[in-house]
Amino acid sequence: MELDHELLYRQRRTALLASGMSILLPFAIGALLAPSLRVRFAPQGVGGTPFTLFLGIAMSITAFPVLARILEERGIQATELG
């Protein structure tokens, strides 16, 4: 995947905000959902904090690659919007 460094530098605030939110927002949603999902899906003996961290991290690390793939498939990764 090609990256236009000059365009990225000009749009650095937007790029930082988009990449930060694509990681932080899914983590927060996972952390909020974890207590209700823990009752049903966590194995016996797994504490609340490890399960919350696992779910938040699992959601956040899959969000950014999926976003990058969508941009690539639509052919807009080299545009200002992408």
In a domain, residue 32? The reply is yes
Query: Can you give the residue range of the structural domain that contains 54?
Result: 5-74
Q: What is the dihedral of CA 75, 3, 66, 79, to 10 degrees?
A: -40
pLDDT, tens only, 20-77: 888 899 899 989 999 988 888 888 888 889 889 988 888 888 777 777 788 888 888 7
pLDDT, tens only, 43-52: 888 888 988 9
Question: In the prediction, which pLDDT does 81 show?
Answer: 64
**In this structure, are residues 22 and 67 in contact, taking their beta carbons and an 8 Å threshold?**
yes
Instruction: Tell which wins on pLDDT, 12 or 4.
Output: 12
In a domain, residue 41? The reply is yes
In a domain, residue 34? The reply is yes
In a domain, residue 81? The reply is no
In a domain, residue 82? The reply is no
Over residues 74-81, the mean pLDDT reads 75
Question: In the prediction, which pLDDT does 1 show?
Answer: 55
Count of domains observed in the chain: 1
